[in-house]
Amino acid sequence: MNKFIKVHETLTRLRYKFELLKEEFIDENILKAYLENIQGVNSVRVNKKAYSIIFNIENIDIKKTIEESLKTLTLEDLLSTNCEDNAVCVSCIKNEKPSLEGVVKAGGALVAERFISNNLAKALLTTTAATPLLIEGTKELFNEGLTSKVLESAAVGISVYRKDYLAANSTNTMLALGEYIEETTVHKSDDLLKELAKPNVKEAWIEKLQDGKKVEVLVKTEKIDVGDIVVVSAGSTIPVDGHIVFGDASVNQVSMTGEAEPIKKQRGDRVISGTVLEEGRLKIWAEHVGANTATQRIKHYIESSLNEKSSVQLKATKLADKLVPVTLGLAGFSYLITKDFERVASILQADYSCALKLATPVAFKSTISKAGHNGIMIKGAKSIESLSNVDTFIFDKTGTLTKGDLEVIEVQSFDEQWTEEEVLNLTASTEEHYFHPVAEAVVKAAKQRGFVHMHHEEVEFIVAHGVKTEVDGKSVIIGSRHFLEDDEKIDFSSHKEKINKSLDEGKTLLYIGFNGKLLGTIALSDKIRDNAKESLLRLRQLGVKHLVMLTGDVDKKAQMVAEELGIDEVFSELLPTDKAAIVKKMMDEGRKVAFVGDGINDAPALISASVGISMSKGADIAKATADVSLLKDDIQAVVEAKELANKTMRLINTNFKATVGVNSAILAGATFGAFSPIVTAVLHNGTTIGLLLNSIKGVKA
């Protein structure tokens, strides 16, 4: 149940502090649209920074319904609002396609007027065709003040007043055609994003016990719980994120990661929702279901990106609004000097607003779409802008710079009564219930040596530390040195020499405690990614000045890795809580920081950084809090995201300069009488359409 506090109440207004707004992944626009659907609610205002929601209501009787909605609201409710098969369905997207009706009416009047000789008939025809534009302009004047639509309708109105019907109809036709092409372009950019959102899998087979027998039952996907065994056959889409517990298969991941070739998957491998099983049959342990699956997170990323405006987008909108009075002022000044209404009509056409306001969001959407098709989910325009400004990249070593696929290279027993195989079997028996890289490596090694399971009691998992259980009434503690030595007070003194020798050789150690004593260690190795060095070099070429690595490893091992990769600064032997503090310190120094990580304990650092980037194998909370989430396990994708961001901002800046430069030239020409209203309309709309097409073409991925 969600927590909330009623702050203020009148007969027609309610204000609440709502705890769910503290969640990073809650989008205030989607929440607003959801709450406005409550019957009796007139409007809703959401202030995420203040965790506040204000309801304007018809009467106080609706209070109980509102509070019940706040109490039971879930992320899944928000994502599924008004959506059935389509993954994107929010108020800011118009589902209907742009209509040609306005172009046909205006164009028809332009052609027909040429064949009519009667002036009254010409006036009636032209006025009828221009009426929708004139009404729209008048409404905007009273509702929003001076806008580009007001100037355009004024230009057409002046031409009708001057009885220049050719100019009025030509201008009206050009405006209608330009608006149609603009709407089509924006609509297409939304469609690009919609392509990323996969249809929901409505039903799935799960394995259940009935009368002591395992049977397969077809259920609605929303009824699947964490821990269910989901059975997927060839040709079906995988409905959950999870791990394979039985079977071998070929899985096509192109829709989620951009990898063209199907990937062979087997027991222990992770699979993600939205991918298609081409051959074979799998039983999958459901780790993430409902709103937490990859496809549902993609929905949320897309919805956020459609609602979110970057500072450069806001700057363009503000500039466009500021330039409207300039255009109007020039028109007024021109009339005072020349008394020429035709020149006034020309000046009013030369408006900056359309290109400035539309080209920027279209460019952002195009990039988000292209990135998504390449397995890079970018949360929105702000994330692109922030990533382009990043000058410092901080990497959490394991799973980012290294593969994260550990291998057991040595087992040591510190007790003569325990063989190395027995120490390994004890550890594997305890760890086999967890799909953690260390646990998977230990279980894999035990199986290769003829795994013999040891019976144990229920296992307790302690985040970022290790696991605890009991065997024959004696405690078993497995995990980090800090966990065993500092937290559990197990004595390491008699084995320090052996431990230090292993650490000096660059080995990662897992420590096993039994009955209050240190039983042994398991040495693991994690290989540096093949393309890590090349990727870091490419980041430098893209303008990154400082590369940092964070790790819990001993300093000697950390320095070896840093030297091999050419990293500038290393922080070693860290506790999970140290990472966010280092990120914050660097940001306080004035750096623009991107943090790349994948663990549960990376979430605070991901939130603290200017841009958080989560790797594909990362924990769910890491992905939820990241600005960029990678769906393919490749550090090169980090470079691709940075490159896309840089190119997008260059494109936007080019469009921005072109808009201001070209429209200023058109405005100057119109002011000095060089362009008629028709020529101005053609030049202005042509420029806007060209810039929009340039934006939707976007940058090369």
Tell me which residues are annotated as active site: 396
563's CB contacts (< 8 A; 6+ apart) are: none
Q: Check if the beta carbon of residue 7 is closer than 8 Å to that of residue 16.
A: yes
Which of 49, 41, 56, 58 is closest to 8 using CA atoms? 56
DSSP for 191-242, please give it. Answer: HHHHHHSPPPP-EEEEEEEETTEEEEEEEEGGG--TT-EEEEETTPBP-SEE
**Would you state the torsion angle of the CA atoms of residues 333, 334, 340, 344, taken in this order, to the nearest 10 degrees?**
-90
Tokens 């389509």 belong to 86
- Here the tokens at position 514 are 């039994």
User: What letter does residue 602 receive in the DSSP assignment?
Assistant: G
678's CB contacts (< 8 A; 6+ apart) are: 166, 167, 170, 171, 174
- Here the tokens at position 117 are 């000789």
The values of phi and psi at residue 109, to 5°, are: -65, -40
Which of 150, 152, 169 is closest to 347 using CA atoms? 152
Q: Check if the beta carbon of residue 655 is closer than 8 Å to that of residue 662.
A: no
Q: Check if the beta carbon of residue 81 is closer than 8 Å to that of residue 147.
A: no
- Here the tokens at position 489 are 């007070």
What gap in Å lies between CA 596 and CA 392, rounded to an integer? 11
How many other CB atoms sit within 10 Å of the CB of residue 209?
A: 8
SS3 589: coil
User: What letter does residue 23 receive in the DSSP assignment?
Assistant: S
What gap in Å lies between CA 685 and CA 173, rounded to an integer? 11
Strands 52-57 and 569-571: unpaired
